[in-house]
Amino acid sequence: MVMTMFKNRNYNIVDIVVFTVAVYVVTIAIQIYQPATGGYFNLGESIIYLAALLKGPLVAGIAGGVGAALADLSTGYSVFAPGTLVIKFIEGLLAGYLVQKISEWKSKIFATLIGVFYTALLIVFAIHYWAGEIYIGPENFLTISIETPLVNIPLAVWIIIALVLGGLVSYVLIHRYVKELEAVALLVAGLEMVLGYFLYEFFISNPLTGRDPWAAIVELPVNIGQAVIGASIAVPIAAWLRRAGYVRQTSTQS
């Protein structure tokens, strides 16, 4: 199956390097610490999904796994690095694979519903998890403590962000710049990430750090929100890049 997934595909090492660096940078740029598990919320999914939409499974898988694992190692979350390497590799691989297999399905009603669904999820997570004080950037980098700025983002700002992102997703899907089912595929891949981290935290990281394994449940909605906002960012950017000519470099399948 894996060989079939990559057959007749052109993968540029430059693409892998660029997206790996991008995943790393975006992952460490905004980190919101989760005390229940010792993990953190980040926006790295946006680049993993962008790679899946533009460059396919191999680029998305390597960039996601390696870039995010390096972010864990360099910002004080090394206990998560082995899990991250595997979980986000599979996430990127799955997202890219599903995107490649998506068939054409033209329905403006369905596209609108998907856009509304994205918007609703963003608003729900903004209300319950994102509004308030957040730290911009990591607190540690290569064992060096960093004084990261604390920013208070009001709920009203998050709702505006949610409406803008949701509106962009709806516009992109309705105008067929990204297929409706591609947007769904990203969330399906995101569920792999959510389940993967739950299992890793339950069986490995929480016991190793002296935390209650069942505390991993607390991070489930956080990781779901991470997948949703990641997809909401990736879809409009992918649409713009596709229209600009920056598309997956693929050959015709035999």
What CATH number is attached to the domain comprising 86?
1.10.1760.20
Q: Is residue 88's pLDDT more than 60? A: yes
Q: Where residue 32 falls among pLDDT bands split at 50, 70, 90?
A: confident
Q: What is the DSSP string of 154-176?
A: -HHHHHHHHHHHHHHHHHHHHTT
- 3-state class (DSSP) for residue 254: coil
Is residue 109 predicted with pLDDT exceeding 70? yes
Is residue 249 situated within a structural domain?
Answer: no
What pLDDT does residue 79 have? 96
All residues at 6 or more sequence positions from 245 whose CB lies less than 8 Å from its CB, including other chains: none
Phi, psi at 152, each rounded to 5°? -100, 110
107 is a domain residue: yes
Tell me the pLDDT tens digit for each residue of 51-66: 999 999 999 999 999 9
96 in Cβ contact with 59 (< 8 Å) = yes
Any domain includes 172: yes
Highest mean pLDDT among 98-107, 137-146, 150-159: 150-159
Q: Is-contact 241 177, C-beta < 8 A?
A: no
- Residues sharing a CB contact under 8 Å with residue 4, sequence separation 6 or more, in sequence order: none
Task: Tell me the C-alpha distance between 179 and 136, whole Å.
Answer: 33
Q: Do the domain assignments include residue 111? A: yes
**248 domain-assigned:** no
> For 250, phi and psi rounded to 5 degrees?
-130, 155
Residue at 237 is within a domain: yes
- Give the pLDDT confidence of 214-239 residue by residue, as tens digits: 999 999 999 999 999 999 999 999 99
Say if CB 167 and CB 236 are below 8 A apart: no
Rounded to an integer, the average pLDDT of 180-194 is 96
CB neighbours of residue 217 within 10 Å: 14
| Domain membership flag for residue 251 | no
List residues bridging with 34 in a β-sheet. 39
Which range, of 3-17, 47-61, 235-249, averages the lowest pLDDT?
3-17
pLDDT higher for 79 or 254?
79
Q: What Cα–Cα distance (Å) separates residue 126 from each residue in 24, 83, 163, 215? A: 24, 27, 11, 22
What pTM was computed for the model? 0.91
**pLDDT at res. 200:** 98
Torsion, Cα of 151, 152, 155, 161 (10° steps): -20
Looking at every residue in the chain, the average pLDDT score rounds to 89
Q: What is the pLDDT of residue 249?
A: 43
Residue 253: pLDDT band by 50, 70, 90 thresholds? Answer: very low
How far apart CA 251 and CA 254 sit, in angstroms, is 9
For residue 148, being part of any structural domain is answered with yes
Which residues span the domain enclosing 75?
A: 2-243
Number of domains in the chain: 1
